[in-house]
Structure 1
Amino acid sequence: MTDYSRNKEVFAASRLSIAPMMDWTDRHCRHLHRLLSRRVLLYTEMVTAPALVRGGALHLLEHGPGEHPVALQLGGSDPVELAQAARLGAEAGYDEINLNVGCPSDRVQSGTFGAVLMKSPARVAQCCAAMRAAVDVPVTVKCRIGVDDQTPHEVLPHFIQEVVAAGVTRLTIHARMAWLEGLSPKENRDIPPLDYALVHEMKARFPALHLSVNGGIDSLEAVQSHLSAGMDGVMVGRAAYHSPAQILCAADRLIFGETTPDSTPEGAARAMMDYAELHLVAGGRLNQITRHMLGLFAGRPGARAWRRMLSEGAHLPGAGPELIEAALGLVEDVQAA
């Protein structure tokens, strides 16, 4: 039976979401982000359906109870396999299952999924329909405005029509083309020009579809601007990773209308000490956590000292939560000076 209250919560949270980013948005990163915002929608890194279904890599589904609302992003192109992977994700407790139709990496292309699927909207629709039939949580799609020599104004509306016909009601559009040949994944995040106007045009053309815009959005002011212009949601990527406090500390108040006090990077840093202690007891390493914390004080006095101490010390044998405490002390000393 569909849990409508749960679906309503995840749709509300998608007003502001943090993009799925390979090698970045792991469970330690998501824990930090949740300390900074109680309301934003978080995403996993992309997990491939073959890894779950054929490889049995269920450890990739691990997440903490405090991360919710949190969505699982899947990569794949086989409807049956994606349905099985979606079911595993829903059984693991994820609030949403998202299909990646935007990643331009060579590895993703060789698996015939990611951005290359923009060329096969009917296949994407089949995958979405199969996933929706398998789970009772929302199935969503994250895509580009087009790939290679496609004409976005022609292909994007057709792509949207196909996935909507398959029952998808929420879509996130990265407002850039993806060049599958000639540009690296990193270059694909910067070089193709942004076309926010086209994404906004799609919202006007498909008013019943819950649409989020993604790509190059680096401040809460920019988030508010897109929302004020009629978008249902905004997805922030690298800015939320490199400057998490600047994006997330005031988000609950400014984006979701909460009246509770804003979070602080100092509070998050102290909470991460306890989290780090548990991780170390379980056999983990401190730098697996602190690498996500380097930008916590970005733009504030003491940020350089904070980053240097964590970067130089977290990988050393015996490094523990006291390193975070010492780095925080440096920040507080600079701010008090």
Structure 2
Amino acid sequence: PGLKFSINGGVETLQDVEDQLSHGVHGVMVGRAVINRPWAWSQVDTRIYGEAENPALNRRQVLEAYSVYADREFARAEAENPRYAPSLRRNLIRHTANFFASERNGKRYRVELDAGMGDKRLKPSRAIHQAMEVLEDAILD
């Protein structure tokens, strides 16, 4: 009676989360689903947490803000721990790879992103922006 249960595994969409919560579970863990298709979760605030408005920006704005963060963290790593900076740079760029999963030119975005990761002269923001160039405005905005 006093126990709370959470679901872990097999949850792929926001609809799956809503279905599980409607059955009375306390929580739903969705880590891999979010990693695989992050933008599919952009409405979680309104659909799951009951916010009146969705604070999620469009994908272009999210990537612009993330690019500033990525460059700042990379610069900090170069100054504080230069040996760690190259792997951090790769990770900062790589974490945007699935942002356009199942979208038109999403695969081309990943290919361009990978090329940017390989060019060690590029800041994270430049690698991300170069990859964004293969996407249509309708997908970014």
- The interval holding the TM-score normalised by the smaller chain is 0.7 to 0.9
Are 1:229 and 2:33 matched, yes or no?
no
TM-score, normalising length: structure 2: 0.81
Deviation at 1:214, TM superposition (A): 0.6
Check the 8 A contact 2:93/2:127 in 1, yes or no: no
For structure 1, the 5+ residue unaligned runs are 1-206
**Count of aligned pairs:** 129
Which ranges of 4 or more aligned residues in structure 1 deviate by more than 4 Å? 333-336
2:133 partner letter: G
Q: Residue 257 of structure 1 is aligned with which of 34, 40, 50? A: 50
Check the 8 A contact 1:269/1:328 in 2, yes or no: no
Q: Which structure's residues are more often helix, by fraction?
A: 2
Q: Which structure's residues are more often strand, by fraction?
A: 1
Question: Residue 219 and residue 277 in structure 1: after superposition, are their counterparts in 2 closer, same or farther (change >3 A)?
Answer: same
**For the residues of structure 2 that align with 1:315 and 1:260, how far apart are their CA atoms?**
39
Q: Point out which structure has higher relative CO (alpha carbons under 8 A, 6+ apart).
A: 2
Deviation at 1:325, TM superposition (A): 1.4
Deviation at 1:221, TM superposition (A): 0.5
2:131 partner letter: A
Question: Residue 254 and residue 333 in structure 1: after superposition, are their counterparts in 2 closer, same or farther (change >3 A)?
Answer: closer
Check the 8 A contact 1:302/1:335 in 2, yes or no: no
Alignment of 1:93-104 (within 5 A): none
**For the residues of structure 1 that align with 2:65 and 2:8, how far apart are their CA atoms?**
30
The structure with the largest alpha-carbon Rg is: 1
Check the 8 A contact 1:302/1:331 in 2, yes or no: yes
Are 1:323 and 2:127 matched, yes or no?
yes
Deviation at 1:315, TM superposition (A): 3.2
**For the residues of structure 1 that align with 2:127 and 2:11, how far apart are their CA atoms?**
32
Deviation at 1:302, TM superposition (A): 2.3
Question: Residue 319 and residue 240 in structure 1: after superposition, are their counterparts in 2 closer, same or farther (change >3 A)?
Answer: same
Check the 8 A contact 2:116/2:127 in 1, yes or no: yes
Deviation at 1:236, TM superposition (A): 0.5
Percent identity between the two aligned chains: 29
Alignment of 1:100-115 (within 5 A): none
